[in-house]
Chains A and B, each alone.
Chain A
Amino acid sequence: MTTEGMTGLGFGHTENQKMVAQMAKDFAEKHIRPHVMEWDEAQIFPKSTMQEMGKLGLLGVLVPEEYGGAGLGYFEYITAIQEIAKVCSSVGLSMAAHNSLCTGHILQFGNEEQKKKWLPKLAVGEWIGAWGLTEANTGSDAMRMQCVANEDGDHYIINGTKNWITHGITGDVAVVLVRTGDLLDSNGITAIVVERGTPGFKGGKKENKLGMRASETAELIFEDCRVPKANVLGKVGEGFKQAMKILDGGRISIAALSLGIAKGSYEAALKYAKEREQFGQPIASFQAISFKLADMATRIEAAELLTYQAADLKMKHKPMTTESAMAKYYASEVCVYAATEAVQIFGGYGYTKDFPVEKFYRDSKLCTIGEGTSEIQKLVIARNILRD
């Protein structure tokens, strides 16, 4: 699938994007592909491979060069995520979380000193970043979070836990959303940076997951953890609003991740359908199979357009909450659809670990859950279209 046909909308692949795509693909084929199933089976988070990606600029795609990043835009960013995800969706998810959430939050809301302190390490992958919003009892309803930070002189003392956090154990630094005000007060939440090694801060249980098994998902535990007030990003009480803005951008990256998985599934299914023969002919010649491929191709193309549209608005600093929710919602559902149909086209072989579609099928489901479920995306979209 290409965006070649989209030049009319101004989303034709630029020379830059093509080079970035080739680079990410070359890297993934050489350094990720040989290990994919091993990492998946054993739930190994490949930190050193992530750090190699950092050297190529893949962990600081949107970070300006003055802070050690690649200084590129959203188009290059989503291009790179797709290519990585086609080979290993787990690494794609980790890349998206590192760039959009932790690094993105510091970039967007940190002051100059904070940006100088953390971005150069994050942008080159010397440090891996985590971002903690979700808790065991508060997922979609993040506003009710329980993790508290109480003032103590020029420090905050944090108590509580965060769950489902990507890089919760391995991450070298985390942006954490904590309660600094009353429950349900939208101005009662603050974003604060906590470095690994800070007394009272540790990683907890690592989740044993259906898919995305090479992307570490774990608990963050805070027990009387003292963090300097200088680590607060933006103003005290602005954390929730900041988090919603971060998720607006993050959703574009999950849409890109979804596209990578969907295209990986589609391309594998297309090839297989042409090669596999039953009843003396390639299975692609059965309308039942070719229509599946036609549906997959069409929906992927539509998802890609929505994703590029959201990225385009983001690059132009225009409002894009609705469009990014649409892109994330649609692309993630297409991703699950494409992976499911790909397994069907592969038949019994698709149900084994010898073919990549089995893994795509398991990995795809995360996309309709992480960074806001499909239901929550619809809630966001409905709220916006009803208000307008």
Chain B
Amino acid sequence: MKILVCISNVPDTTTKVTFTDNNTKFNAAGVQFIINPYDELALTRALEITEKQGGTVTAINVGLADAEPSIRKTLAIGANDAVRINAEPIDAYFVAEQIAAYAKSEQFDLILTGRESIDYNGGLVGGLLAEMLGIPSVNVITSIEVENGVATMERDIDGGKEKVSCKLPLVASAQKELTEPRIPNMRGIMAARTKPLKVVEVSGDLITSATVGFELPAAKGGVKLIPADQAEQLIELLHNEAKVI
């Protein structure tokens, strides 16, 4: 069982978001980067699967050298080896193309991604990757079991659950419920230093999109507190000030 897990390096969830270059670039100055939380779930589930039935887990990232702390962390958590494709992850198509090129040469049984990265929330890499590799993809899974070359997965759908089974190889993207993230232990941290982290140069054409501009949502207005025993005042305000009733 050979599993590839796609890892993106994203700003910490508590980051105060600002932009530079006329609102076309995220301002990374002073920002702490982490493994995309959904990718961490995909990684953990991959490890659970290979720990049970044998196999290896490779983590792959398209990014520059500054992504290496996150990549090392995947090794500390338990990935056997890691690959960094040395390029700025410009957009989903480019990232998927780069990962596809690598995956073709390695024949993975299963490729896991997060349902989306929490920075740009595109949610496209998994599907594009499957298409480029000519294999099925299943989105937003909440569980996955693999037996005799077949993966059985669950996914949330409106008002219920869907069970899907699919022959390997395939691409699947992780939803929050997939598993509990794993905190690396100290031995893992030590071992990560000597596990292989391969740096691969970019291949193929660079067909990319360009960001024209970002915009932050308007700042939230203040909050008015009305004492519980003054319902009339609340109705008054909802009626005349907020104009919602």
Contacts and interface: CB of A to CB of B under 8 A. Distances in A.
A20 B189 contact: yes
Interface residues of B, number: 13
B193 A16 contact: yes
A57 B69 contact: no
A19 B189 contact: yes
B212 interface: no
A27 B189 contact: no
A15 B70 CA distance: 11
A19 B73 CA distance: 7
A224 B187 CA distance: 42
Nearest to A20: B189
Given A16-B189, A16-B193, A71-B190, A23 B69 contact: no
Contacts of A56: 183-186
B183 A27 contact: yes
A19 B185 contact: no
A23 B72 contact: no
Taking residues whose C-beta sits less than 8 angstroms from the other chain, chain A's interface range is: 20 to 34
Contacts of A15: 69, 72, 193
Interface in A34-70: 55-58, 61, 65, 70
Contacts of B72: 15, 19
Interface string B181-207: 001111101101100000000000000
A157 interface: no
B190 A72 contact: yes
B76 A19 contact: yes
B69 A20 contact: no
Contacts of B192: 19
Given A16-B193, A18-B69, A19-B76, A58 B186 contact: yes
A70 B183 CA distance: 15
Nearest to B184: A23
A267 B91 CA distance: 37
A61 B190 CA distance: 11
A67 to B, nearest CB: 12
A81 to B, nearest CB: 13
A76 interface: yes
Contacts of A72: 186, 189-190
A70 B186 contact: yes
Nearest to B73: A19
A72 B76 CA distance: 14
A55 B193 contact: no
B232 to A, nearest CB: 31
Nearest to A25: B183
A55 B185 contact: yes
Nearest to A27: B183
Contacts of B193: 15-16
A57 B183 contact: no
B187 A65 contact: yes
Nearest to A55: B185
A369 to B, nearest CB: 30
A235 to B, nearest CB: 32
Contacts of B190: 16, 65, 70-72
Contacts of A182: none
B187 A57 contact: yes
A280 to B, nearest CB: 16
Contacts of B186: 20, 23, 56-58, 61, 70-72, 76
Contacts of A16: 189-190, 193
Contacts of A277: none
A56 B186 CA distance: 6
B187 A23 contact: no
20 contacts: A15-B193, A16-B190, A16-B193, A18-B69, A19-B72, A19-B73, A20-B186, A20-B189, A30-B183, A56-B183, A56-B185, A56-B186, A58-B186, A61-B186, A70-B186, A70-B187, A71-B186, A71-B190, A72-B186, A72-B190
Given A19-B192, A56-B184, A72-B189, 9 more contacts: A19-B73, A23-B183, A30-B183, A56-B183, A56-B185, A57-B185, A61-B186, A71-B190, A76-B186
Interface of B: 69, 72-73, 76, 183-187, 189-190, 192-193
Interface of A: 15-16, 18-20, 22-23, 26-27, 30, 55-58, 61, 65, 70-72, 76
Closest 8 pairs (CB-CB, A-B):
A57-B186, A70-B186, A56-B185, A19-B189, A57-B185, A26-B183, A27-B183, A23-B184
